[in-house]
Amino acid sequence: MIMSAAVTAQDWTFTRAQSLPPYAFVVSDAVKARVREAGADIIDLGLGNPDRPTPPEIVAQLHAAADIARNHRYHPGRGLLELRAAAAAWYARRYHVSLNVTSEVIITMGAKEGMSHLCLAVLDRGDVAVVPDPCYPIHAYAPQIAGATVEYYPASLEIPPGKAIAEAIARVEERGQRVKLVIANYPQNPTGQVISREALADLVQTVRRSGAMLLHDLAYADFDFSRRYAPSIFDCGVAADAVKAFAVEVFSMSKSYNMPGWRIAYMVGNERMIAALAHMKTYLDYGTFAPLQLASAWALEHGDRFAEEMRELYKVRAHALVEGLRAAGWKDVAEPSGSMFLWTKIPRAFAGKGSLEATAELIESAHVAVAPGIGFGPGGDDYLRFALIEDPPRLLEACSRIGRFLKTRL
Ligand SMILES: Cc1ncc(COP(=O)(O)O)c(C=O)c1O
């Protein structure tokens, strides 16, 4: 009998995984590894990974909750009532909106997980989602992983977001299709733009008129540099109940409280969308470890000062980096209005190079790593993103290195 060669995993096509391009932040890993191997100290401003530890008071709550045996069990899919109630109280305090903790709040394993599984729950092949360009990658890829196609709207300062979204919706409708979901994110990653209540109300009304659903990512709720709280879609001037009819919003513990590795966030709003996500999650996971949820509830109730400190820290860092870059000869750089990023055009010294090559060049020649703009959307290739994850002295060291490199290009 002739034995045919065994089929291995090598022979199969992984359509979904293979259709995804390399993730924005890993594309320059190989360059970084090579430069580090040669002994260089790279100042890495690529990934937006908060550098400060979680406040010890929050960690102490985690320790105490981890010592209680019942906290080691499986827990309800929508998250512990203690955390859902703390999330609702957070909304009531900041945004004067009342949420039903049973039907309008769900705890997720980070905002990224929540948004991804929401898209998987509500989108399908043939559906269309309207997403920002540039954007945090999951805003474009969660719909695509779910089988939908995306129509981009420019997240640029020149066009008001409501208008940009209305135009994107019109393009889709001209093709005879309907938009099912619009994704927005203010304060925005990667551009650092913030939104006024009025502009957010206009955005919300635009989506409402179109009949689409809305997902707003409020991960940087505490990082609007001009005010204490960035506006919520549920407190933008449009009646909260009307917004709840078609929209959800997600907030993450990662940024305001320096808890990125804890993987915890919450999504609130439309009960049908929340129920679809909860249903999906009953198949996929059992939620986050209860002590993480209990410590998060404590942080929401007692931790406003941590979030305020973080906003001031990023504001100071943004200012230092902008001044440093200007002094280094990087001319067209504007200060971000919020978030923890600086998004800036690639200067002419890079001789027309795209963002991947410019990033590689900065790593190799200046030993400074940034994130290439192309990783955030098709319109991002003329830009680089600096994450504000080092204190001013190291940011200024990065600027001097960049300045020395730019001089070689004059
Ligand atoms: C806009 C935005 N949303 C969500 C996240 C991630 O949040 P989480 O850590 O809760 O998944 C990030 C992280 O960079 C982000 O920039």
Tens-place pLDDT, residues 392-408: 999 999 999 999 999 99
Instruction: Tell me the average pLDDT across 169-191.
Output: 98
Query: Is residue 39 very low, low, confident or very high in pLDDT (cuts 50, 70, 90)?
Result: very high
pLDDT band at 1 (very low <50, low <70, confident <90, very high): low
Phi, psi of 133 (to 5 degrees): -135, 115
Q: Of the ranges 5-14, 287-296, 344-353, which is most confident?
A: 287-296
Rounded CA separation 189/209 (Å):
26
> Is the CB–ligand 1 distance for residue 183 below 6 Å?
no
Distance CA 114, CA 105 (A): 12
Same-domain status, 227 and 361: no
C-alpha–C-alpha distance, residues 388 and 321, integer Å: 8
The residue whose two tokens read 């619009």 is 182
| CB 189 less than 6 A from any atom of ligand 1 | yes
> 191 CB less than 6 Å from ligand 1?
no
- Say how many CA atoms lie within 13 Å of 70 toward its Cβ: 2
Does a structural domain hold residue 64? no
| pLDDT tens digits, one per residue of 201-230 | 999 999 999 999 999 999 999 999 999 999
Give the pLDDT band of residue 3 (cuts 50, 70, 90): low
Same domain, 199 and 84: yes
pLDDT of residue 28: 85
For 291-302, what is the mean pLDDT? Answer: 98
Question: In this predicted structure, what is the pLDDT of residue 351?
Answer: 80
Q: Of 4-8, 142-146, 351-355, where does mean pLDDT reach its minimum?
A: 4-8
- Distance, in Å, from the CA atom of 360 to the CA atom of 367, rounded to the nearest integer, reads 10
Hey, whose CA ends up nearest to atom 14 of ligand 1?
48
Lowest model confidence (mean pLDDT) among 23-27, 138-142, 331-335: 23-27
One domain for residues 184 and 324: no
Residue 2: the pLDDT is: 59
Q: How far, in Å, CA of 32 to CA of 372, rounded?
A: 13
Q: What is the mean pLDDT of residues 13-18?
A: 92
SS3 183: strand
pTM of the prediction?
A: 0.96
Cβ 185 under 6 angstroms from ligand 1: yes
Cα of 174 vs centre of ligand 1, distance in Å, is 33
The closest of 191, 342, 181 to 277, measured between CA atoms, is: 181
Would you say residue 322 lies in a domain? yes
Q: Which of 249, 281, 303 is the last residue of a domain?
A: 303
Whether 121 and 276 have beta carbons less than 8 Å apart is answered as: yes
200 lines ligand 1 (CB under 6 A): no
- Tell whether 216 is covered by a domain: yes
- 295 & 319 share domain: no
| Helix, strand and coil in the chain, % to nearest 5 | 50, 15, 40
**Are 18 and 94 part of one and the same domain?**
no
Task: Using the atom order of ligand 1, give the atom closest to the CA of residue 265.
Answer: 10
Tell me, yes or no, whether 356 and 208 share the same domain: no
Left if phi > 0, otherwise alpha if psi is -120 to 50, otherwise beta: which for 352? left
Indicate which CATH number applies to the domain containing 38: 3.90.1150.10
pLDDT tens digits along 262-287? 999 999 999 999 999 999 999 999 99
Whether 34 and 23 map to the same domain: the answer is yes
pLDDT of residue 409: 82
Q: What type of residue is 178?
A: R
Does any ligand 1 atom lie closer than 6 A to the CB of residue 256? no
Atom of ligand 1 nearest to the CA of 188: 1
Ligand 1 atom closest to the CA of 48, numbered from 1: 14
Q: Is 296 in the pocket of ligand 1 (CB under 6 A)?
A: no
CA distance 278 to 102: 11
Q: Where are the beta strands (DSSP E) in 164-264?
A: 179-185, 213-217, 247-252
- Ligand 1 atom nearest the C-alpha of 260 is 9
For a pocket test of ligand 1, which of 54, 117, 136 has the largest count of ligand atoms closer than 8 A to its C-beta?
136
Q: What's the CA-to-centroid distance between 112 and ligand 1, angstroms?
A: 6
Whether 403 is in a domain gets the answer yes
Q: State residue 164's pLDDT score.
A: 98
d(CA 71, CA 314): 35
- Read off the pLDDT of each residue in 123-142 and give the average, rounded to a whole number: 97
Tally of domains within the chain:
2
295 plus 364 within the same structural domain: no
Please report, in angstroms and rounded to a whole number, the separation of the first and last CA atoms in the chain: 72
Same domain as 395, residue 315:
yes
Ranges 34-43, 64-73, 348-357, 362-371: which has the least confidence: 348-357
- C-beta neighbour count of 342 within 10 angstroms: 25
**Cβ contacts of residue 25 below 8 Å, gap of 6+?**
46, 47, 371, 375
Query: Which residue type, as a one-letter code, is found at position 406?
Result: L
Query: Omega of the bond prior to 347 within 30 degrees of 0, cis?
Result: no
Indicate the residue among 303, 328, 356 that finishes a domain. Answer: 303
Q: Give the domain range for residue 41.
A: 14-53+306-407
- Using alpha carbons, select from 293, 309, 289 the residue that is nearest to residue 301: 293
Same domain, 152 and 279: yes
Residue 59 belongs to a domain = no
**Alpha helices, DSSP H only, in 271-331?**
271-284, 290-302, 304-327
Atom 7, ligand 1: which residue's CA is nearest?
Answer: 111
For the chain, the average pLDDT equals 95
**Domain-located, residue 5:** no
Residue 61 has pLDDT above 60, yes or no: yes
Q: Tell me, what CATH number does 292's domain have?
A: 3.40.640.10
Nearest protein CA to atom 2 of ligand 1, as residue: 219
Q: Which of 155-159, 347-351, 353-357 has maximum average pLDDT?
A: 353-357
Ligand 1 atom nearest residue 254's Cα:
9
CB 186 within 8 A of CB 139: no
The count of other CB atoms within 10 Å of the CB of residue 153 is 24
Chosen domain end from 281, 303, 325: 303
Domain shared by 218 and 280, yes or no: yes
Q: What ranges make up the beta strands (E) of 26-158?
A: 43-44, 105-108, 128-133, 149-154
Could you tell me if residue 68 is inside a domain? no
- Residue given tokens 């259709």 in the structure block: 19
CA 212 / ligand 1 centre spacing (Å)? 23
Alpha-carbon span 353 to 373, nearest angstrom: 12
Question: Using 50, 70 and 90 to split pLDDT, how confident is the model at 21?
Answer: confident
Mean pLDDT across 187-204: 97
- Mutate which of 108, 109, 112, 386 for ligand 1? The one with the most ligand atoms within 8 Å of its CB, which is 112
Protein residue whose Cα sits closest to atom 16 of ligand 1? 189
Q: Tell me the best of 255, 259, 343, 385 to mutate to test the pocket of ligand 1, counting ligand atoms within 8 Å of each CB and taking the most.
A: 255
Q: If you measure from the C-alpha of residue 250 to the centroid of ligand 1, how many angstroms do you get, rounded to a whole number?
A: 10
Within-domain flag for 66: no
Same domain? For 48 and 86 the reply is no
Task: Report how far Cα 18 is from the mean position of its chain's Cα atoms.
Answer: 23
